[in-house]
């Protein structure tokens, strides 16, 4: 099978160098053609429809258009819309969408099945990923270029989980696919990035608002052993916290960041049963 890297024939994003990045929009244009090809090759070949978030000057858009049958390229910056349309003018399978990815009805841009790719500003990561995971119909996969530290945290094995990790893993698997060096962008950010792959699946049955209120309280005491951390969610009653942990069958010497998704479900069920 011919690789997308060969088919796409991507070039360095020289167009980006004609546009001054807007700090207010968190813009870092991908300008390294080699890295763009590596990202493209890391993406699954299916489904045949893809929504690109933060298309910018089209560095990735043209390659995506050659790899997928239908592409909807979403861009917020009004300065870039005409440039982007010019860059993809010969690609009849690309639709340029002017709008904010935090507001656009992404699930309606292309018929299902579809996927999502985006080189997204660091500052919207925390808001955008939950929104993408909540889309209906949902994408088959979501691949986003995010800050390396964020990608590492969201894809971490139990032992390095945070509340953000739990909030993602309750709805999707997460894998760090590719490290992206800071030098691949213009302007050059202070930290490296990474390509993070999320594959939405059935949501954990317990993952409702009340559960996350409970988990948030527990994580506030993440440096403490589990009974003391659980006590933070139950009126600081350590005895009750200890009883919740015992009912869940979890070693009370553990700490919140070491629990996997199944253990969180057991802990929350025990919390409810204990009337905490």
Instruction: Note the pLDDT tens digit of each residue in 191-225.
Output: 999 999 999 999 999 999 999 999 999 999 999 99
**pLDDT of 2 strictly over 50:** no
Domain count, the chain: 2
Band of residue 28 on the pLDDT scale cut at 50, 70, 90: confident
Same domain, 76 and 171: yes
Same domain, 9 and 34: yes
Please give the model's pTM, rounded to 2 decimal places.
0.89
**pLDDT of 85 strictly over 60:** yes
Task: Single out the residue in 200, 220, 245 at which a domain terminates.
Answer: 200
Same domain, 116 and 175: yes
Band of residue 261 on the pLDDT scale cut at 50, 70, 90: very high
Instruction: Note the pLDDT tens digit of each residue in 152-185.
Output: 999 999 999 999 999 999 999 999 999 999 999 9
C-alpha distances (whole Å) from 22 to each of 60, 117, 191, 236 are 19, 21, 18, 46
Mean pLDDT for the stretch of residues 87-101: 95
User: What CATH code is carried by the domain that includes residue 268?
Assistant: 1.10.8.100
Band of residue 21 on the pLDDT scale cut at 50, 70, 90: low
Same domain, 20 and 94: yes
pLDDT at residue number 57? 85
Sheet containing 115-119: order of strands? 94-98, 70-75, 49-53, 115-119, 142-147, 193-200, 172-180
User: H/E/C letters for each residue in the chain?
Assistant: CCCHHHHHCCCCCHHHHHCCCCHHHCCCEECCHHHHHHHHHHCCCCCCEEEEECCCCCCCHHHHHHHCCEEEEEECCHHHHHHHHHHCCCCCCEEEEECCCCCCCHHHCCCCCCEEEEECCHHHHHHHHHHHHCCCCCCCCEEEEEEHHHHHHHCCCCCCCCHHHHHHHCCEEEEEEEEECHHHEECCCCCCEEEEEEEECCCCCCCCHHHHHHHHHHHCCCCCCHHHHHHCCCCCCHHHHHHHHHHHCCCCCCCHHHCCHHHHHHHHHHHHHCCC
Residue ranges making up the domain that contains 156: 4-200
User: What CATH code is carried by the domain that includes residue 98?
Assistant: 3.40.50.150
Band of residue 187 on the pLDDT scale cut at 50, 70, 90: confident
Same domain, 125 and 160: yes
pLDDT at residue number 1? 32
Mean pLDDT for the stretch of residues 253-276: 94
Same domain, 186 and 234: no
Task: Single out the residue in 166, 200, 234 at which a domain terminates.
Answer: 200
Same domain, 69 and 163: yes
């Amino acid at each position: 099978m011919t690789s997308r890297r060969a088919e796409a024939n991507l070039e360095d994003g020289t167009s980006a160098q004609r546009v001054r990045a807007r700090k207010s929009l968190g813009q870092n244009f991908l300008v390294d053609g080699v890295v763009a090809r590596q990202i493209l090759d890391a993406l699954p070949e299916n489904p045949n429809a893809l929504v690109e978030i933060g298309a910018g000057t089209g560095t990735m858009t043209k390659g995506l258009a050659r790899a997928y049958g239908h592409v909807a390229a979403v861009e917020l910056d009004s300065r870039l819309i005409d440039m982007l349309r010019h860059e993809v003018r010969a690609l009849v399978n690309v639709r340029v969408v002017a709008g904010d990815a935090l507001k656009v009805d992404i699930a309606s841009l292309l018929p299902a099945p579809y996927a999502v790719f985006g080189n997204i500003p660091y500052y919207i990561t925390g808001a955008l990923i939950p929104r993408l995971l909540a889309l209906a119909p949902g994408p088959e996969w979501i691949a986003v270029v995010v800050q390396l530290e964020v990608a590492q945290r969201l894809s971490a094995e139990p032992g390095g989980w945070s509340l953000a990790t739990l909030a993602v893993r309750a709805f999707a698997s997460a894998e760090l696919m590719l490290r992206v060096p800071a030098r691949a962008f213009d302007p050059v950010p202070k930290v490296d990035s990474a390509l993070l792959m999320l594959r939405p699946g059935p949501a954990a049955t317990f993952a409702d608002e009340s559960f996350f209120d409970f988990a948030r309280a527990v994580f506030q005491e993440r440096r403490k052993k589990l009974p003391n951390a659980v006590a933070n969610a139950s009126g600081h009653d350590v005895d009750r916290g200890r009883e919740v942990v015992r009912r869940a069958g979890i070693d009370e010497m553990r700490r919140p960041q070491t629990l996997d998704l199944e253990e969180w479900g057991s802990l929350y069920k025990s919390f409810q049963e204990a009337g905490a």
